[in-house]
Structure 1
Amino acid sequence: MTTTTEQNPNIYQLARLIQDIDCGMLTTIDEDGSLHSRPMERTSDIQADGTIWFFTNASTHKVFEIKNSQQVNISFKSDDAQRYISISGIAELIKDRQQMQHFWKPELQAWFPQGLDEPDIALLKINITRSDYWDSESQFQQETITL
């Protein structure tokens, strides 16, 4: 049986909240315990299983940080609406060629000039555990979505 985000209302709601936001700030925990954030281009919509994907180079410092502590946060802010989303999850590095082909978009060529032939290319898979959001519709009250 195929599962869609529409079959899980929490995943569907979260997917709807970030559907028009392409870039988020990924925060990892450095080896000294400090937080480190950087912008990341969203590779996929939120999947039915509660995951979100990003392309990366496997030899970056963020990957080193994730190997030491898999807990991450991704924050999104919409440009056209007053909507803020904070997603917590567990990250893992994936080097599966089939998955990369599935998620590849031509816009990623700017960061990966050789495309999928880039020697260091990989995916970050974030298994979402919790999300908080604030928006003008909820009068900026914090709402939590637990997956």
Structure 2
Amino acid sequence: MRNPEQTIGNLIDKSNLTIISYIDNDGFPISKAMLSPRQREGIKTFWFSTNTSSNKVKYFRENPKASIYFVNKRFFRGVSLVGMVEILETPEAKEKLWQDGDTMYYKQGITDPDYCVLKFTAKKGRYYSNFKSEDFDI
């Protein structure tokens, strides 16, 4: 892969679904579909909005290790990124990601206590394309 940030960034931008994985109390991985990240910086940092009351937030508070996966079904390409999640509940973090229509998920608006931000910071990844995989550091 000549330019990982561009190649993987394009795949991420065209994906409308993210699979996020976390570890439960018994040490098992749990994967969950989420909407695409609200924002990203390159292929290192991603921000997602989610419900504070969700299981993933509960488990991320106990173990911040995570992975996110993006796939291009048409060309059968994908990228898995592993890293750490921070749960952000500050007004600044919430305002940064708030979008029109979010009251559908967070009835009390931007100050809803059930609204928080997940900040995922990648450490390394694995890219799959053309029947082969390639590991890379971030």
Q: Same fold by TM-score, threshold 0.5 exceeded?
A: yes
The CA distance in 2 between the partners of 1:43 and 1:108, in whole Å, is 14
Per-residue Cα deviation, 1:66-96 (whole angstroms, up to 9, x for no partner): 1221110111222432211111110110012
Among candidates 24, 38, 43, match of residue 44 of structure 1: 38
Query: How far apart, in 1, do the equivalents of 2:62 and 2:122 lie?
Result: 18
Structure 1: give runs of 5+ residues left out of the alignment: 1-8
Corresponding residue SS for 2:41: coil
Separation in structure 1 between the aligned mates of residue 112 and residue 99 of structure 2, nearest angstrom: 14
Residue 69 (str. 1) matches residue 60 (str. 2): no
Q: Which residue of the partner structure matches residue 143 of structure 1? A: 134
Q: Does the 8 Å CA contact 2:19/2:69 hold for their aligned counterparts?
A: yes
Does the CA-based 8 Å contact 2:87-2:118 persist in structure 1?
yes
Tell whether the 8 Å contact from 2:65 to 2:84 is kept in structure 1 after alignment: yes
User: SS state of the match for residue 19, structure 1?
Assistant: helix
Deviation at 1:10, TM superposition (A): 4.3
Ranges of 4+ aligned residues in structure 1 off by more than 4 Å: none
Which TM-score applies when normalising by structure 2?
0.84
Specify the code of the residue in structure 1 equivalent to 2:92.
Q
Cα gap change, 1:83/1:115 in structure 2, threshold over 3 Å: closer, same or farther? Answer: farther
CA contact (8 A) 1:73 1:88 kept: yes
Superposed CA offset, 1:93-144 (max 9, x none): 0012222222223354443344424221100000111111112xxx221022
Distance (Å, rounded) in 2 between the aligned partners of 1:126 and 1:102: 15
Are 1:24 and 1:76, in contact at CA under 8 Å, matched by a contact in 2? yes
Distance 1:99 1:146, change over 3 A: same
Provide the secondary structure at the position in 1 that maps to 2:96: helix
Q: Is the CA contact 1:86–1:133 (under 8 Å) kept in the aligned structure 2? A: yes
Question: Whose strand fraction is larger, Structure 1's or Structure 2's?
Answer: 2
The offset of 1:11, in angstroms, is 3.6
Aligned length: 136
Q: Secondary structure at the match of 2:40?
A: coil
Note the residue ranges of structure 2 that are not aligned, 5 or more in a row. Answer: none
* RMSD, aligned α-carbons: 2.1
Report SS of the residue matched to 1:22. coil
Matches within 5 A, 1:1-147: 10-48=4-42, 50-106=44-100, 108-135=102-129, 139-147=130-138
